[in-house]
Structure 1
Amino acid sequence: MPIRLGTGDLARYPFLNEAGEYLRQSGFGWEELDRPDMKDIIERAADRIRTGVDGRVYDKLDRYETEIITFLVTLIMVKSIGMEPALKKYALAEARRAEKFLTEDLKKQNEAQKRALFEKIFYDLFGLAIDVTEDGRLFKVKATDYLMRSSHFHEQEWKMINRLVSKGHVYLDADETVRLVRSELAVLITSRVHAMSLPALPTAIKDKAEELRTALAPRYEYRAHAVTEYPPCIKHALEVMGRGENLPHSARLMLATYMLAIGKSNDEIVEMFKSAPDYNERITRYQVEHLAGTKGSRTKYSVPSCDKLRTENLCFATSDCAGIINPIQFGRRRK
């Protein structure tokens, strides 16, 4: 029996194919966005992008039809802006928004509604089969699917040894189930923007996209000149962040401890991580202060050795690295 989605569902999950079909059936066309009464849609789309790039979750859901159109306008607008770091941060914010709604739905809906969500979102989009336990409180996923998706999580609770496993399935609560596909959803949104070919855009969208591009440009200007004098491992980490990609935990630790060792302030280091798609200022600041020895254990962390970085695939040594055993020594001999 086919699953019927209402406008409320499509407003919460506008990345579903049914959202585009809904707009086609309603007769919506891009040229309509130049009408004066559509100004609100343009402003909402710009606000949605600004909110996402700032690492916050856009949570408006007061008008279902409006939010469906707004999401599709944001895709066109962020494509027009043409900044990969901004796109990555926006896509992750949209994934977090969907994560919030999915978690709420899985906690309050009945079993039939939960199964419908699993089929439409988890299976249709990501090929992930999930089932509900008999009491409706937990969800189970095949161990192979779990391992494939949890392997890049660094928290100890995601290790298989710390999970409830039975008959080849891993059992999860609602929050954990949704977290499992967050990164895939961000990739899905990013790939859709990459695949888009821009139509002849209404003037209102082009003007707003140019306004956003001008406002966002200063955030990324430092990358063009900030990575030239660093050791190759640090330079590589900064370049990865400059592309709007996430660094693994070990690379973040390396980067933060190195910057602390050369005298960068906590504020400067926190600002440096701002382009990471999953940036959260409160968490980043705490982690930097913990590494600096001003929070937590009060132990100041040292920069990992070159041997340690090699074992973690973080070493990108060049001939200029000859004779050093720690990145902090880079360049001293030449000087």
Structure 2
Amino acid sequence: MSIRLGTGDLARYPFLNEAGEYLRQSEFGWEELDRPDMADIIERAAERIQVGVSGKVYDRVERYETEILTFLVTLIMVKSIAMEPVLKKYALAEARRAEKFLTEDLKKQNEAQRRALLSKIFGDLFGLTIGTTEDGRLFKVKVTDYLARSSHFHEQEWKMINRLVSGGQVYLGPDETVRLVRNELAVLINSRVHAMSLPALPKAIKEKAEVLRIALAPHYEYTADAVTEYPPCVKHAMEVMNKGENLPHSARLMLATYMLAIGKPTDEIVKMFKNAPDFNERITRYQVEHLAGSKGSRTKYFVPSCDKLRTENLCFATKDCDGIINPTQFGRRRK
């Protein structure tokens, strides 16, 4: 049986195949974006990118035709800007936007609407089959599918021992179900931008993309920190961060506490996280100060032991580690 989504769904999830089909059927031409009445679409697209790369969620929703066009124009602009950090931050922001709407929809919509969303978003896009309990309060996914995705999360609540499992299925709440595929959605949007072949762009888009590129370049170019004198675990975390990729929470905690332990100032530590797709300077600064014991509970956090790092798959020991039990000891025994 074919399951159809409403126009409101296409407005909230413009990355769906049905949204692209709408544009194809409308025979919309690129040259139309130079029309004066299309200026609002281009301005909204630019705003959506700026909000996204700043780490916030752009949650305005207009008519579905407007949303589909705006989303497509943002993809083109991000492609034109040609800065990988901007693309990664934007893709994560779009995934978070979808996460917000999808979590709300799975909680409040009726069974038919939920089935449509589960089928189109989880099934068609990610090949993931999601079931529901009879009362519709919980969702269930095969253990193998759960493990394949939750392995990227290091928080304790995602460990199998802390999950409700029955009959080969893992049971999840709406927010947990959506969180399971957020990273995949970010990767999907990222790959779509990389795969795009830009046509001769309308003048209005080219000009706006160039304005954005000039404004964003000083803030979102990669800055690589030297990584030669650190223990392998810290060096690995910094290399991942320098590529603009996401570090799990436990790796970020290890990196921040290590830098605090060796006397790095807060400003310098905060700057190390600048390349992270979800970087927010205010939140990062608070978290570093919290770990240092100067904010929040006033409890100073220490660097995790090597044993702890091994259990969290964060240990990349080499012969230079020489039997140390904490990363802060790296280099001392050799000297």
The alignment status of 1:5 with 2:5, answered yes or no, reads yes
What is the letter of the counterpart of residue 117 of structure 1?
L
Structure 2 residues without counterparts, runs of 5 or longer:
none
Corresponding position: 1:177 with 2:177: yes
> What is the identity, as a one-letter code, of the residue corresponding to 2:65?
E
Identify the residue that residue 25 of structure 1 maps to in structure 2.
25
- The residue that corresponds to 2:72 in the other structure is 72
Matched letter for residue 301 of structure 1: Y
Structure 1: where are the runs of 5+ without partners? none
Q: 1:148 — aligned with what?
A: 148
Matched, 1:14 2:24: no
What is the TM-score of this pair, normalised by structure 2? 0.88
Shift of 1:71: 0.3
Residue of structure 2 equivalent to 1:292 = 292
State whether structure 2 residue 198 is matched by structure 1 residue 215. Answer: no
Cα drift, residue 78 of structure 1: 0.7
Whole-angstrom CA distance in 2 between matches of 1:310 and 1:115: 41
Q: Which residue of 1 aligns with 2:230?
A: 231
Partners of 2:321 and 2:331 within 8 A in 1: no
The 10-residue stretch of structure 1 (98-107 or 294-303) with the greater mean CA deviation from structure 2:
294-303
> How far apart, CA to CA, are the structure 1 residues paired with 2:192 and 2:222?
28
Q: Per-residue deviation at 1:154? A: 1.9
Task: Give the deviation of 1:289 after TM superposition.
Answer: 2.2
- Is the Cα–Cα contact under 8 Å of residues 57 and 97 in structure 2 kept in the other structure? yes
Q: CA deviation digits over 1:15-58, x for unaligned, max 9?
A: 11111110111121111112222111111111111111111111
Amino acid at match of 1:278: D
2:63 alignment partner AA: R
Question: Which residue pairs with 1:158 in the alignment?
Answer: 158
Letter of the 1:59 counterpart: D
Q: Which residue of 2 aligns with 1:261?
A: 261
Aligned to 1:97: 97
CA gap 1:243/1:205 in 2 versus in 1, 3 angstroms: farther
After superposition, the Cα gap between the structure-2 partners of 1:185 and 1:221, relative to the gap in structure 1 and judged at 3 Å, is closer
> What SS does the aligned partner of 2:58 have?
coil
Cα shift at 1:182: 0.7
8 A contact 1:111–1:132 mirrored in 2 = no
Change (3 A) 1:214 1:302: same
Structure 1 SS opposite 2:274: helix
| 3-state SS, counterpart of residue 140 of structure 2 | strand
| Cα distance in 2 for residues equivalent to 1:51 and 1:102 | 20
Matched residue of 1:288: which SS? helix
TM-score for the superposition, normalised by structure 1? 0.88
Change in Cα spacing, 1:78 to 1:317, as seen in structure 2 (3 Å) is farther
Paired residues in the alignment total 332
Q: Is the 8 A contact 1:55 1:279 kept in 2?
A: yes
Determine the C-alpha separation between the residues in 2 that align with 1:223 and 1:108.
43
Aligned to 1:207, the other structure's residue is in SS state helix
CA apart distance, 1:258: 3.1
User: Following the alignment from structure 1 to structure 2, what is the Cα–Cα distance between the partners of residues 270 and 175?
Assistant: 29
Aligned-pair CA distance for 1:228 = 6.1
With over 3 angstroms needed to count, the CA separation of the structure-2 counterparts of 1:232 and 1:47, relative to structure 1, is: farther
- Give distance in 1, aligned partners of 2:44 and 2:229: 41
3-state SS in 2 of match to 1:128: coil
* Mapping of residues 35-54 of structure 1, within 5 Å: 35-54=35-54
RMSD between aligned residues:
2.8
Name the stretch that deviates more: 75-84 or 276-285. 276-285
Paired AA for residue 65 in structure 1: E
CA-CA distance at 1:61 after TM superposition: 0.3
Q: Which segment is superposed worse, 249-258 or 74-83?
A: 249-258
- CA shift for structure 1 position 253: 2.3
Q: Secondary structure at the match of 2:33?
A: helix
- 8 Å CA contact 1:273–1:279 kept in 2: the answer is yes
8 Å contact from structure 1 (residues 81, 213) kept in 2: yes
Distance in 1 between residues matched to 2:60 and 2:10, nearest whole Å:
13
SS at match of 1:275: coil
Cα pair distance change 1:316/1:219, threshold 3 Å:
farther
Quote the Cα distance in structure 2 between the aligned partners of 1:95 and 1:282.
Answer: 21
Residue 115 of structure 1 is matched in structure 2 by 115
Shift of 1:4: 2.4
Separation (CA, whole Å) in 2 of partners of 1:151 and 1:309: 15
Q: 2: CA distance between counterparts of 1:155 and 1:333?
A: 33
Task: Give yes or no for contact 1:84–1:243 (8 Å, CA) kept in 2.
Answer: no
Residues 8 and 331 (structure 1 numbering): CA distance in 2 closer, same or farther, change over 3 Å? same
Task: Report the counterpart of residue 87 of structure 1 in structure 2.
Answer: 87
Shift of 1:100: 0.9
Q: Is the 8 A contact 2:154 2:250 kept in 1?
A: no
**TM-superposed deviation, 1:297:** 5.4
Q: Equivalent residue of 1:69, what SS?
A: helix
